[in-house]
Amino acid sequence: MALNVTLRMFRYRPDQSARYDMFKVTVPDAANVLDAIEQAWAQHDRALMFRHACHHASCGTCAVRVNGREVLPCIVPVKKYLDGDKPLTIEPLKNFSLVGDLVVDVANFFQKQAASGLVITRPTENKLEGKPIAYDQGLDPASVETVPFNRFENCIECGICLSACPTMAASVKFFGPASLAALERELDKTTDPQRRARLLELADDEQGVWRCHSAWECTETCPQNVRPAEAIMALRRRIFAQRFGFGK
């Protein structure tokens, strides 16, 4: 089975006014929206700019808005949106500056992520048991040591929560849900008092947790169940506790 679908694609270049192009593509029944975008590129317009890499919700590069809502098109089926002949509107994320077509400038976002300092691997919190052998000490079996399993952080830095965030829309200087969530994760991990103080300072900044209007759009739209809104609330409790010596 194949699906015929029309994409109403946002087109933009810095020296041109934005417009929408209509692309008719045919994709397999089980195709995800990213496959349809790639077909539009392959069959219709090789100048179409879009970001993609892993196609399984790991890299976070492909995030766009489909019919106005932020999604990772690599894991959302085309079928979900089919409604007669109605086209799917594909647009870039909001609250980022535009580079071209679906591509936005993520530099500012990654600078904030870097400021949070969150390392993307951590010992697992999974309930599976067992301890593997680590071989990274070299090939000598006598040197192996026992370490716990590790995992990548759930956040894939896709930028969806920034796009959906009304506070971000009001001020792009806001530290933003993903990076605040990263601060909370990092605070959870680190015991170094100086580092903790520095992280709390970032959260307590005028562009930090107090700007959040608690719209909870971040938690609502996050494809990875990171729950940034809850993290922001946890950071507020931490700041209170530090200032007044109560709570967590």
Partner 1 sequence: MSVPHVLIIGAGSTGSATAHDLALRGLRVTVVERGEIASGTTGRNHCLLHSGGRYCVNDQEGAIECIEENLILRRIMPHVLEMNDGLFVALDDEDYAFKEQFLAGCAECRIPAREIQVAQALKIEPFLNPRIKAAVQVPDGVFEPWRFCVSFLATAKKNGATIRNFAEVQDLIFQGNAIAGAKIFDQRTGKTESIGADLIVNATGAWAGMVAAMAKADVPVAPTAGVMVAIGKRFNNMVINRMHKPHDGDIVVPIRNTSIIGTTSWRVTQPDAIEIPQDQIDKMIEAGQLLMPILKKGVQRGVMAVARPLIASANVDARDFSRTFEAFNHRKQGGAAGIITISGGKTTTARGMAEKVSDVVCAELGIHAECKTKTTPLISYREFYN
In the range 45-84, which residues lie near partner 1 by CB under 8 A?
Answer: 46-47, 49-61, 74-75
Question: CB–CB of 199/209 below 8 Å?
Answer: no
> Using CA atoms, how far apart are residues 83 and 137, in angstroms rounded to an integer?
56
CA dihedral 114, 120, 121, 126 (to 10 degrees): 140
In the range 120-159, which residues lie near partner 1 by CB under 8 A?
Answer: 120-121, 124, 126, 128-136, 138-139, 141, 144, 149-154, 156
> Using CA atoms, how far apart are residues 183 and 172, in angstroms rounded to an integer?
18
Indicate if the alpha-carbon torsion angle 56, 125, 227, 186 is positive or negative.
negative
Question: Counting contacts by CB under 8 A, is residue 219 touching partner 1?
Answer: no
Q: Return the number of the residue (96 or 239) whose C-beta is nearest partner 1.
A: 96
Q: Return the number of the residue (44 or 69) whose C-beta is nearest partner 1.
A: 44
With CB under 8 A as the contact rule, the residue among 18, 22, 82, 107 that binds partner 1 is 107
Kindly state the helix (H) or strand (E) to which residue 163 belongs, with its residue range.
Answer: helix 160-164
Least distance from partner 1 to the Cβ atom of residue 62, Å:
8
Question: Counting contacts by CB under 8 A, is residue 170 touching partner 1?
Answer: no
Kindly state the helix (H) or strand (E) to which residue 19 belongs, with its residue range.
Answer: strand 16-28
The residue ranges that bind partner 1 (CB under 8 A) are 13-15, 28, 30, 32, 38-39, 42-43, 46-47, 49-61, 74-75, 99-100, 103, 106-111, 113-114, 119-121, 124, 126, 128-136, 138-139, 141, 144, 149-154, 156, 224
